[in-house]
Structure 1
């Protein structure tokens, strides 16, 4: 029961990242939000890793080439693409396209790792693709023929593709989850610092901007990670992964509460995407427990907003 509460709250926080991130994009740039998100989260994550996991830091840092690549893909590339997408598309559309990430990861695992999914998984991938296309075209296939797909939705496709590659690489990295994540976050801050200086990154200038950045740094970046990893101590990664579908549900509910409408193509596309994810994930229940970063830091074989 406690694990379920942790997982529900973690996904609620990640849903909030999409909604609050879209609000922040109205007056801030993607580099502003990305830099301050990780700059504010780096030190607490490093302290948390040292307190909870007590890692051998020298052994961890010997894996710096892989950790650096993961930081470029997952912390820097994915986050910049995500917030750039939210400048041009809605949080609900971003969450619906993001829901196809597990299917994309499975497809890349087939191409890069030689995985052999069951026929039902292939059907799930196809179903999810149809759902994403429905969202991209807003129910009008002619938009594809006329290259009328929204820029934000294309950026979101780039974001989930980047995250899929991140996940494939992270699967082979055997390090404590919080520790590896903290190192990647710290590396992202170092990498982004020169770009932030050149681009003139600024501190939040208004109360709304300040609260947005504070929320993103505290809840999606720190709180969700802690809750997710606490849950993984008492439940399997496969079971936790099923809770990720709540991101679409929570985002839709928040969107409605804020007075924004949801269209029929979004509803139908969401049903297809989630159905595809569930079919893709139908496999034998793993008997081994999660070991450090055997999969994705924080989110095994899935996605993280």
Structure 2
């Protein structure tokens, strides 16, 4: 830690990393307090976030190649489809299970990324990763109260959060395939646009109204879009330019902790002993798997 924060630039990056992780960790609170349904909230999250991305793309020289042909545009749009599925499933899980469970299980995405890399790209899987995977699965069982409680009432919500993690892994893998050709900003514009287009008809079909009717409702979606999606992700992205990726990835472990604390303070969601122990085991499993 002392070596990472040795220079003023690195100290600024470390502060950005921590603030960004905390900002992202607050996103489930905005979703829970939103006066709209989970799909409509997800739509506003990406559609409002698209505005600063478009502004930056118009004022920043990107220096990457221009997309040419239908194939390139499809590759740029595909991650947004996965992102829409991820946000829709995760926002839905927040209505079906506790904030702590939904946020924690959604952070299994790095595990699915590695499994997907092995299945699709034949990336080698190390014994350390398998150990972390086993540890994370044990933690999920403990989180639910042991094998006897696996059929509990929140099981559907927990399963939906895991589905969200699977879709986010697909998003990360698809972005990884096009990142060598296109800039981060170009990818963010196209994927955010694609996610908004996918989420709008789903929100209209299942929830009807997609427009907040009160000032508080607008405040929740604006906060979700600008504080969590643009601000949080932007600060973490800035920090990645100066800090080791392995160290920066620890923000994934910070987010469920922040979410659980905020849910306890603002939503009166208690964290039981079994849930706390299971959560710590899952976090340890994710950390070990990422090192592997």
TM-score range, shorter chain: 0.7 to 0.9
Distance 2:68 2:189 in 1: 11
Give a deviation string over 1:131-164, Cα, whole Å, max 9, x none.
Answer: 12222x2x141233x4755321111111011111
Greater Cα offset, 200-209 or 113-122: 200-209
| 1:191 to partner: Cα distance | 3.1
**2:123 aligned with 1:115:** yes
Distance 2:45 2:120 in 1: 32
Give a deviation string over 1:190-229, Cα, whole Å, max 9, x none.
Answer: 3334445555333111233221111111111211222122
**Conservation of the 8 A alpha-carbon contact between 2:31 and 2:38:** no
Structure 2 regions of 5+ residues with no counterpart?
1-10
Distance 1:64 1:236 in 2: 32
**2:175 counterpart residue number:** 170
Q: Output the aligned Cα RMSD.
A: 2.2
**2:139 aligned with 1:141:** no
Distance 2:173 2:64 in 1: 24
**2:3 aligned with 1:3:** no
| 1:252 to partner: Cα distance | 2.2
**How many pairs were matched up?**
277
| 1:187 to partner: Cα distance | 2.0
Cα distance change of structure 1 residues 179 and 59 upon mapping to structure 2, 3 Å threshold:
same
**2:187 counterpart residue number:** 180
- Aligned with residue 233 of structure 1, among 230, 234, 241: 241
**Conservation of the 8 A alpha-carbon contact between 2:62 and 2:185:** no
Alignment of structure 1 residues 19-168 onto 2, 5 Å: 19-24=29-34, 27-55=35-63, 58-59=66-67, 63-74=72-83, 76-135=84-143, 137=144, 139-144=145-150, 146=151, 148-168=153-173
Distance 1:52 1:235 in 2: 23
| 1:188 to partner: Cα distance | 2.2
**2:199 aligned with 1:192:** yes
Alignment of structure 1 residues 243-262 onto 2, 5 Å: 243-258=251-266, 259-262=268-271
In terms of fraction of residues, the more helix-rich structure is: 2
Distance 2:246 2:73 in 1: 28
